[in-house]
Structure 1
C-alpha cells in the first residue's frame, strides 16, 4: 500500500503540473503515471479474493493471483510505453525507427509466449518477457543518450527533464531486474526473501516515484527536443 501512496503522489503532481507540460511529450508521461496508479490499484483486487472477501468467488479460478494483470499492464504495457516515449523524443530518425521495430517484435513475441504458455500466464511471471523488456528499456535509454551526445543538446543535457527521467528509469530497471532470477524463492517457505524483496521494491519505487514528482515540479518544459 505504501507504493500505491507514492504512485498516487507522482500522479497527483503530474495532474497539478499538466498545464506546464501540456504542449510537450511530457504530457504522455503524466498520462502514464496516472495509468500506472490505476493499474496498481486494480491489482490489489487479490486482497478481496483471499479470506472470503468480496471477490472470494475468484479463489478457485485462474484469477486468484494477479500475475496475468502485472504481465499485461506493466511487463508488456509499461515496456511498450517507454520504448514509444523515447522513440518519440529522439531526434535521429534511424534510432526512432529502430526502437519502433523492436517494440513491434517485442509485442509479437510476448503475445506468442502467452498463447503457448497460457496456464503459466496466470501462475507466474515470464522471465523472457521480463528480461527482454528490461533489455529493450536499456536500449531505448541508451539510444536517447546517444541521440543527445550526437547533437548540440549535449551542451545542456543537465537542463533536460528527459535526461532525469531516463536516469531514474535506468537505475530502477537495473536494481530490480536481477530479482527476477530469484523468483523461485518467493514462497511462504522463505519469508526472509519475501521480506527482502518487498523492502527492495518499496525503497526503489519510493525513490523513483518521488523522483518523478520532484522532476515534474523542478524542471522546465523541454524547448529544444521535439
Structure 2
C-alpha cells in the first residue's frame, strides 16, 4: 500500500513521462533524418505502454508481471543497448552480442529463478548490469572527449545521467526486493528514490532535446 506522497509521485510520473514524449515530438522535424528520431519513437511507445499498464487492466485481463517482464523491460533494455552500442560507440557487434546475452538470461531465469514480483527477476538484474557497463563506458568516452568542455550540449550526457540515476541507482532495490521488503523503513526510502529517480530520468530526457545539439 503506497502512502499519499508515493501515490502522488506515481501519478505524476506518468504525466511527466507523457510530457517528455510531447517535448521530443516537438523536435521531430529537426531530428527526423538522424538516429535520434528513434529515441522520440521510444519515448512515445513507452508512454503508451505505461498507460496500458496503469489502466489497461480495466478493459483487458492480462498479467502485469508478464507484461513488464517480457515486453516493457526487454524493449527498454534492448533500445538502450542499441543507443549505446550501435550508435554512441558505433559498434554493432557490441550491440548484437550484449542483446544476445540478455536474451539468453531469460532461459536461466526460467530454469533457475522463480519470478514472484513485477520486474523482479534474474534477467532484469543481468540486463541492468550490462547497462551499467555501457553507462561507465559512456562516461569514459565523454570524459576523454576533446569536446568535454561542451558536455552540456551533449545529448548523451543527459540520457546517461538519467539512466544512471534510475536503472543503476535502483538496481539493488529491485535485485534484493524481497529481502528489503521485510525492513519497511528502508524499503519505503528506496521506493521513494525509485519513484523520484524515474521522474528525474524523464525530465533529463526532455532536457536532452532542449539543450542538446540538434545536429548531433
With normalisation by structure 1, the TM-score equals 0.75
Aligned to 2:44: 34
Cα displacement (A) at 1:47 = 5.5
- Residue in structure 2 matching 1:70, options 63, 68, 71: 68
- Residue in structure 2 matching 1:24, options 34, 38, 50: 34
CA distance in 2, matches of 1:181, 1:10: 28
Cα displacement (A) at 1:158 = 3.6
Say which one has the larger Rg.
1
Report 1:1-226 matches (<5 A): 1-45=11-55, 48=58, 58=61, 63=62, 65-91=63-89, 93=91, 96-110=92-106, 112-113=107-108, 115-116=110-111, 120-121=114-115, 124-148=118-142, 152-154=146-148, 156-184=150-178, 195-223=188-216
Cα displacement (A) at 1:137 = 0.9
SS of the aligned residue for 2:214 comes to coil
The RMSD of aligned alpha carbons is 3.0
Distance 1:138 1:190, change over 3 A: closer
CA distance in 1, matches of 2:112, 2:170: 24
Distance 1:79 1:107, change over 3 A: same
Unaligned runs of 5+ in 1: 49-53
Unaligned runs of 5+ in 2: 1-10
With normalisation by structure 2, the TM-score equals 0.78
CA contact 2:77–2:127 (8 Å) conserved in 1:
yes
Cα displacement (A) at 1:83 = 0.6
Q: Which moved more, 1:74-83 or 1:5-14?
A: 74-83
SS of the aligned residue for 1:136 comes to helix
Distance 1:123 1:177, change over 3 A: closer
Distance 1:4 1:25, change over 3 A: same
Cα displacement (A) at 1:18 = 1.2
CA distance in 1, matches of 2:177, 2:187: 10
SS of the aligned residue for 2:33 comes to coil
CA contact 1:75–1:133 (8 Å) conserved in 2:
no
Cα displacement (A) at 1:46 = 6.8
